Amino acid sequence: MSDPVDPTQGVTRIEVSVETRAPGGTTNAYLVDGLLIDPAARTAALDAAVEAGVDGIAVTHTHPDHVGAVAAYAEQTGATMFAHAAHADRFADATGVEPDATFRDGDTVGSSDLRAVETPGHAPDHVAFAVTGGAGPPRELLCGDLAVAEGSVVVGGPGSDLRAYLESLERVSDAGYDRLHPGHGPPIEDPAATCQRLIDHRLARERAVLTAVEDGASSLDAVVAAAYEKDLTGVEDLARATVRAHLEKLATEGAIDGAEIDGAEIDGFTEL
């Protein structure tokens, strides 16, 4: 489905059905000023949008549900492949395509109206793209998996960093954007409030994890059971990954002794 989110800013969203744990089972691909962002899979709707003209392709991060059709559209369009300079190898490994050009935080991506904004945490290579067209500072941000309009973002995959994720939310909130265009789900019309909701959610989960440890939980499974007072059927792996990320953050900050937690990759311990 193609959905022109904001014609005045030139942002077009195409929802792509893809294998993902995100609610709705879709990833948002975006077209802005000739740049294609996050082509998750090849679809008729995305094909039609791409036919209007694509000069470059980039991704917010290299998780599989965001990069599945990068190679196909690279071959079809001959577009310039852009990757974060510090993570070009990850881009090549995930997409099967070597980048033609790189960018860093604050750079304009090619000749487009998009500027890179580093937002690590959900993934180490995560980046957002601010829409710079028009007068004044950017008011729109393609935020990838930094934020969602409803629910929360999992920060627990390989290379994720909860401290960096919270800092990225604060950076985006402080920038004062009017709208965020996320990797999954509808546009976010209240960026500051949404970022604060996600920060509050993470800090509340952290307090639950810390309380569980202080009350004697000494294994990853025990902390998960104590920190989540709800049925985790179908999402146990996500809960374990989330708790592990919180434990790593708490251990790094000296709030807990990582050696007290058995079965979590904390301070060199072996992951279950």
CATH number of 2-189: 3.60.15.10
pLDDT (tens digit, 9 = 90+) per residue, 158-171?
A: 899 999 999 999 99
The pLDDT value recorded for residue 270 is 26
Give the residue-averaged pLDDT of 45-65. 94
Q: Among candidates 84, 42, 45, which has minimal Cα distance to 67?
A: 42
pLDDT greater than 90 at residue 210 = yes
The pLDDT value recorded for residue 175 is 96
pLDDT (tens digit, 9 = 90+) per residue, 187-206?
A: 999 999 999 999 999 999 99
Alpha helical stretches, state H, 24-181: 44-51, 64-67, 70-77, 88-95, 162-175
Give the residue-averaged pLDDT of 218-236. 91
Q: What is the pTM of this model?
A: 0.91
Give the residue-averaged pLDDT of 76-103. 97
The pLDDT value recorded for residue 102 is 98
The pLDDT value recorded for residue 232 is 92
DSSP state for residue 219 in the 8-state scheme: B
Residues 10 and 142: their CA atoms lie apart, in Å, by 12
End-to-end CA distance of the chain: 40
- Domain spans of the chain, in order of start: 2-189, 200-260
pLDDT greater than 50 at residue 79 = yes
- Residue 93 falls in the annotated catalytic set: no
Q: Please indicate whether residue 259 or residue 258 has the higher confidence score (pLDDT).
A: 258
Residues with Cβ within 8 Å of 126's Cβ and at least 6 positions away in sequence, in order, are 60, 61, 118, 119, 120, 144, 145, 146, 168
Marked catalytic residue, from 38, 65, 113, 145: 65
Query: Residue 23: which pLDDT band, with cuts at 50, 70 and 90?
Result: confident
